[in-house]
Amino acid sequence: MRQLIFAFCIGLFPFAANAVEPDEMLTDPVLEQRAREISKDLRCVVCQNQDIDSSNAGVARDLRLLVRERLVTGDSDAEVIEYIRARYGDYVLLKPPLEPATYALWFAPIAFVLIGVFVGGGLLMSRRKQEAFEDLGSEDENTVSEILRQNEAGDAS
C-alpha cells in the first residue's frame, strides 16, 4: 500500500509546477495543449526567468488567459506569440530573437567563456615559465658565494 501511495505522489510531481488553474483551462484538449506549449515560451514579466505556465503571479494569469482567448478566436501559435510580443516587447520571450538589439544576450556568454580561457591560459603559461627555471649548479653557487663574500668584504672596510 505504501508503494502505491508513493507511486501516486511521484506521478503527481510533474503537475505540481504548473500554476494553471482549472477555471483557465480550455475544454478543447488540442487548444489547451497548444496554449501550454505557447505558455512555456513566454516569460512572466514579474518573475523574470519563469514561464507563465508555472508562475502564480497575477500578470502571468492574465497572459495565460490572453493566450487562450487568442487561440479560441482562431489565431495560430505564431500570431498569438506575435500579439503578446507586440504588447510587451522581446522581454516577454524566453528565447529572444537574434537581432542587433539582442546580440549582447546571445554572444556575451561566449565572450565571457573565451575571456576566461585566455586569462586562465595566460596564468598557467606564466606559472609554467616560472617553474621552468632550474636550480643553480655547483659552479653557479660557488660564483654567487664569491660575489657575496666580495660584497661583505667591501662593506666591512
Burial code (b: 16+ CB inside 10 Å, e: under 16) for 39-72 equals: bebbbbbebeebbbbbbeeeebbebbebbbebbe
Using the predicted structure, report yes or no on whether residue 3 has a pLDDT greater than 70. no
Q: What is the pLDDT of residues 13-39, one digit of tens each?
A: 444 445 666 667 777 888 889 999 999
151 and 115 share one domain: yes
The pLDDT score that the predictor gives to residue 21 is: 67
60 and 114 share one domain: no
Q: Which of 97, 121, 147 is the last residue of a domain?
A: 97
More confident residue, 85 or 8: 85
d(CA 59, CA 51): 11
10 and 62 share one domain: yes
- Looking at the 3D structure of the chain, how many domains does it have? 2
Q: What is the pLDDT of residues 113-128, one digit of tens each?
A: 999 999 999 888 887 7
Q: Which of 74, 97, 120 is the last residue of a domain?
A: 97
The pLDDT score that the predictor gives to residue 145 is: 86
The pLDDT score that the predictor gives to residue 116 is: 94
Residues spanned by the domain of 125: 101-156
Q: What is the pLDDT of residues 77-114, one digit of tens each?
A: 999 999 999 998 888 888 888 888 888 888 999 999 99
Give me the half-sphere count of Cα atoms (radius 13 Å) on the Cβ side of residue 92. Answer: 20
